[in-house]
Structure 1
Amino acid sequence: MPVQSTNPDYEAHIAEWRMMDDALEGECAIKRNPLNLPKPSGMVEAEKLDGQGNAYLYQNYTARAQYEHWVRDALRSMMGLVSKLIPEIKLPTGMSGMEDNATADGFGLTQLFMRVVRQAISHGRVPMVINVDDSGLPYFSTYATRNAINWDTADQGGRQDLVLAVFREFRKKAEDRYSHDCETVYREFFMVDEVCYTSVRNEAGELVEEEKPLGTVGGNNELVRGLEYIPVIYCGSTDNSPEVDEIPLLTMARAALKAYQLSADYFTALHQTSHPQPWVSGLDDDIELSVTGPSAAWDLGKDGACGYLEFQGAGVEAVRTAMEDQKNAALEAGAKVMDVGGTESGEARKTRQNDQHATLHSIVITAAAAIDQGLRYAAEWTGFSPDDVAFTVKPDFVVTEADAQQLTALIQLWQNRFIAKKDVRGNLRRVALIAPDRTDDQIDDELEAESPIGVINEQ
């Protein structure tokens, strides 16, 4: 099989990763892909008659559609919360430089953490490689999700470990310093006789960089140390196994895309409603009409007639309602991911989250664990004790302080049946006003009490 061969899970999820790429780039990317907005059957038939002459119909249809940037806004809000977290870093003296210079492009561990969390939220998968530079110093390389094309696991010493990892890379062609043309190459990591090897091949499968043990540095090809494993970590949204994890913002992206498709019909209907089509009939052969408008008068002759074909728009309101439903679905999906409550017991949190998996809380923990594992690889590789390194992040997000009047108004809204109990519980937990061991049923009992405001305030 060629070096471009992909893992079956890659093929199963690549469409979702591309959707997330478009969703984050915004409306221009969404509109560049005609698959995001199928052509109505009438436009398909019109283009069969005259493809070039009638192409404007779909162009106008697409131009009127509106894509809302809910995904990008949600990601920005989540990263705003994450940016306030301060990692706790422990490194031996010989690795201390990694705190400020840990990535292939020269950024520190805190910036690496932010990158990993961002990609885990948006794509649910962050491929990371721990490598050493020509001086023998370790660093992290991260790849876009769609560029980690192949991987495989097998029994290694009684455990299931990686035995193959292939990444697509893009190298700038050297003949023109001003050009941005790139050639595609494939970097592979694989096991040979219990030692990790690496090489680079072009699209024809020819070696660009010879196969050699990972960690070979300097002009004399000295080996820092042969590794008995592939130092690749696939950070996910719920764990760090090679299997593909769920995409936290995928539900929101799908809702945004559906709202975009509905908006094309909605705004086209509004356009047609405000621009009725004039019609004429029964004109004599010598009568020619070429001007319409409030300042034009038509001579229709003795038997001529005219009128307007007006779009009634009976379904416009239904489309608008469907768009609003998609907005609500998107916001609900985003709210589930942006779960930063930390005042509940573990069991209570598990019960409340039984309908979801990846949350901002779990993503932060998983990302920190992935970087911690990478640092342990780097320490072992360069002769330090893995026990002397640590990278931890406490997901203690900043919580807005409770305002007594707001809480009173909140409970009164529930008493008047304007909001649901679950919304009251969520707000009380968010401002840490209730004890962490309170279950949903206990809170509901207190809300049903004769004086719920006083009871809640006593907790």
Structure 2
Amino acid sequence: MSDVTFKHPDYVKNFPLWGKVDDVCKGQKAVKDKREVYLPRNNPQDKTIEAQGFYDSYLQRAVFYGVTGKTLGSLVGAAFATDPTFKYPPELEHLERNANGAGVSLYQLSQSALRHILKHYRCALYVDFPDVGPSRNRAEEKAKQAYPMVHLLASKAVVNWDTMIVGNQMKLNLVVIEESVSERGQDGFSIESKTQYRVLRLEDIGQGDVVYTIEVYTKSDKDVWVGNGRKIPTDYNGDPWSYIPFTFVGAVDNSTQIENSPLLELADVNLAHYRDSADFQESVYYMGQPQYYVTGVDWNWFQEARKNGVYVGSKTLMPIPKDGSFGIAQVEPNTLAREAMKDKWQQMKEMGARLVEKGSASKTATEANNDDAIQHSVLSLCTANINEAMSMVLRWCAKFVMPDVNVLTKDDLLYEISQEFNKQGYLADLSRQLFESAVQGHSSFKSWWEYNQSGMFPKQTYDEERLNLEAEQEGKLDLTGE
């Protein structure tokens, strides 16, 4: 009997690691809510109420520093400091504002994709199209209000997959996607979530041909997963697909293989730093306060002092017996836990945690470049893989709405995240040179103006710059961008 809920062994192995990085990136509340998972008890065998109270205090005093989450935000911000380049034919103009059917643009999808890759090593992109017949013309296409949509899937959503050899190519022949569907309750306000599985298959139809099918599985009243019938999607020309319009996007490559996420090691050290913080804060709480003591007293003096009270202060006289003494015991600083925290803090910095420390020494240019190289070698590869996946996805979208996608070039269809993560910044000399070039008629004033506004050299082709220059000379250039 087939089981649509079966999970791939690699999925099962990596699922706890993905959850750990997610919790660490969410911050202190998510980490502390897991209690013993990330902060073990000192005496796990003791289940008494008193031991529980001690652990609750131990947990409350611990401090978790959100280094991994801040690093994630910093890396995504670096990749998207410059807006991606997006070129598309009129048939795909909706992707710029609503790429997934929920009002999320392709730009925002690519940001989310990078976050998933950095946290989980991979995510997936999947293209679908409403179940409508082929259109005879562009007007009929618009009347249907049917658009290809790009769906970003987290690593946790793709629970199973498999490949097959077709000719001399390896293709995905099975993808199982776990989906959560919300339904409004009978009262009109409450919401009930149900799980369903979307199964994408590449089926052999004989004579070496394969066809792409979709089937959705839901749970019946008898608590059995039942398929709702297979559908065969077709492209613009009404032809079935010979592959699944689905691709994994990874930190190393876009294959089905799974490696450790780029932020996993940093998350592990972040949690170790958290445990050291708990030990340090406990030491401060129990050993940081001074302890008063009296020597040379008997039981009678103690009972009398207990009855009348003992007052400590510079203006208070404390009578003590002959040969007695009064003192304050102050423990020596316990630096072991603190030193362990400092060591791990330095390790996190070396792993790419970009933290601003007041009063720290300035880095030399060589040191700064080396730090960037460590981070950007991973970040560059992630963005390059997203760019490659997006190129395929856009062609799949075009195949749903255009008769021939082979005529499209990079000037017609392109999505590219810039890998120039270090913004050069505004240079007065370059601005002056651009202005002088514009005065001499060698370049356009528009390029000079855009540089002064953004601090970045305008990205445009030679022909685009030539047209701008000609329009300026004729007094027809529109600087409003409308």
- Judge same fold: TM > 0.5, yes or no: yes
**Separation in 2, partners of 1:386, 1:61:** 64
Residue 80 of structure 1 aligns with which residue?
77
Residue 130 of structure 1 aligns with which residue?
127
**145 and 373 in structure 1: CA distance in 2 versus 1, 3 angstrom threshold:** same
**Separation in 1, partners of 2:234, 2:247:** 17
Q: Shift in Å at residue 402 of structure 1?
A: 11
Q: Shift in Å at residue 192 of structure 1?
A: 2.1
Paired residues for 1:13-412 under 5 Å: 13-33=14-34, 34-41=36-43, 44-45=44-45, 47-48=46-47, 51-133=48-130, 135-175=145-185, 176-193=187-204, 194-202=210-218, 204-207=223-226, 209-214=228-233, 225-275=239-289, 294=311, 312=331, 316-334=334-352, 359-382=378-401, 383-388=403-408, 389-400=413-424
Higher deviation after alignment, 136-145 or 27-36: 136-145
Tell me if structure 1 keeps the 8 A contact 2:202–2:243.
yes
**Separation in 1, partners of 2:191, 2:307:** 51
Residue 446 of structure 1 aligns with which residue?
none
Which structure: larger Rg?
2
**123 and 211 in structure 1: CA distance in 2 versus 1, 3 angstrom threshold:** same
**Separation in 1, partners of 2:162, 2:328:** 63
Higher deviation after alignment, 58-67 or 152-161: 152-161
Runs of 4+ that moved beyond 6 A: 276-284, 287-293, 305-311
Q: Shift in Å at residue 81 of structure 1?
A: 1.8
**Separation in 1, partners of 2:103, 2:157:** 21
Tell me if structure 1 keeps the 8 A contact 2:67–2:353.
no
Q: Shift in Å at residue 401 of structure 1?
A: 5.9
Tell me if structure 2 keeps the 8 A contact 1:122–1:248.
yes
**Separation in 2, partners of 1:378, 1:249:** 32
Q: Shift in Å at residue 224 of structure 1?
A: 5.1
**Separation in 2, partners of 1:225, 1:247:** 39
* Deviations, residues 287-313 of structure 1 (Å, cap 9, x unaligned): 79799985799xxxx9xx999997956
State the number of aligned residues.
373
**Separation in 1, partners of 2:87, 2:23:** 38
Q: Shift in Å at residue 262 of structure 1?
A: 0.8
**Separation in 1, partners of 2:384, 2:25:** 24
Could you tell me which amino acid in structure 2 is paired with residue 399 of structure 1? K
Task: Give TM-score, length-normalised by structure 1.
Answer: 0.71
Tell me if structure 2 keeps the 8 A contact 1:225–1:381.
no
Task: Give TM-score, length-normalised by structure 2.
Answer: 0.68
**Separation in 1, partners of 2:347, 2:250:** 24
Tell me if structure 2 keeps the 8 A contact 1:213–1:223.
no
Tell me if structure 2 keeps the 8 A contact 1:238–1:357.
no
Could you tell me which amino acid in structure 2 is paired with residue 12 of structure 1? K
Q: Shift in Å at residue 266 of structure 1?
A: 0.6
Q: Shift in Å at residue 186 of structure 1?
A: 1.6
**56 and 372 in structure 1: CA distance in 2 versus 1, 3 angstrom threshold:** same
Q: Shift in Å at residue 32 of structure 1?
A: 1.1
Could you tell me which amino acid in structure 1 is paired with residue 338 of structure 2? R
Could you tell me which amino acid in structure 1 is paired with residue 405 of structure 2? S
